Amino acid sequence: MAEEVATVDLRALGLAPGAAARMRLSVPPVELRLGGQDYRTDPASPEVDLEVTRALTGLALRLRTTVDLVGPCMRCMEPARVRLEVDASEYAADDPPADDAAFDEDVASVYVEDDQLDLALWARDSIAEVVPVTILCRDDCAGLCPTCGANRNLAPCDCVVEVADSRWEALRELAERLAKEPGTG
Ligand SMILES: [Zn+2]
Ligand SMILES: [Zn+2]
């Protein structure tokens, strides 16, 4: 496996205006904590495609990768895996605004400082950005029984599910009362 790269020296690329450099790099493992559970990338050190293009006033950066995120299913806690497609862009101006100026994301990348690209942080943030709201072992995961904790994907349990909904309860009472009242017709 390729050596992990956390930082890229953009100046060392020595790009002339209009020139571009493309490289495939392995970044350090990404671990995310979601909903109180730990998720990690698989492969552990994701390979990313980094593209650096020299424009007249700065560097255009593009990061792409396809990686799996693995961890517990958010419903049943069994192992789950989700495929993530990352395609992120940044622009790093040659003359970033002074510290006291308002930070402008269009010209200054938070991942570039002194021509050093924090590739590890950028990759981590880009991956975190495309994580779906729910990570499931399968789309129709039945989850755990809230009463006995059994995994409903494996076997149904005998728990009676109490559906407490006051609106239906009110309708039921009304129906019973109508049924008891003597007919008028
Ligand atoms: Zn599940
Ligand atoms: Zn149960």
DSSP 8-state code for residue 75:
T
CA of 146 to the centre of ligand 2 (A): 7
The predicted structure's pLDDT at residue 108: 79
The owner of tokens 């990404």 is 30
CA of 44 to the centre of ligand 2 (A): 36
Region for 150 from its dihedrals, namely left if φ exceeds 0, alpha if ψ lies in -120 to 50, beta otherwise: beta
User: From the CA of 160, which ligand is nearest?
Assistant: 2
User: From the CA of 156, which ligand is nearest?
Assistant: 2
The predicted structure's pLDDT at residue 66: 97
Q: What are phi and psi of 11, to 5 degrees?
A: -65, -35
Q: What are phi and psi of 141, to 5 degrees?
A: -55, 130
Amino acid, res. 8: V
User: From the CA of 141, which ligand is nearest?
Assistant: 1
Residues 6+ apart with CB under 8 A from 83: 66, 67, 68
* pLDDT by position in tens, the chain (length 185): 568 999 999 999 999 999 999 999 999 999 999 999 999 999 999 999 999 999 988 999 999 999 999 999 999 999 999 999 999 999 998 875 555 555 555 667 899 999 999 999 999 999 999 999 999 999 999 999 999 999 999 998 989 766 666 676 777 777 888 887 765 54
- Which stretches does DSSP call E strand in the chain? 7-9, 20-26, 31-34, 37-42, 47-54, 58-72, 79-93, 112-113, 116-118
The rounded radius of gyration (Å) of the Cα atoms in the chain is 27
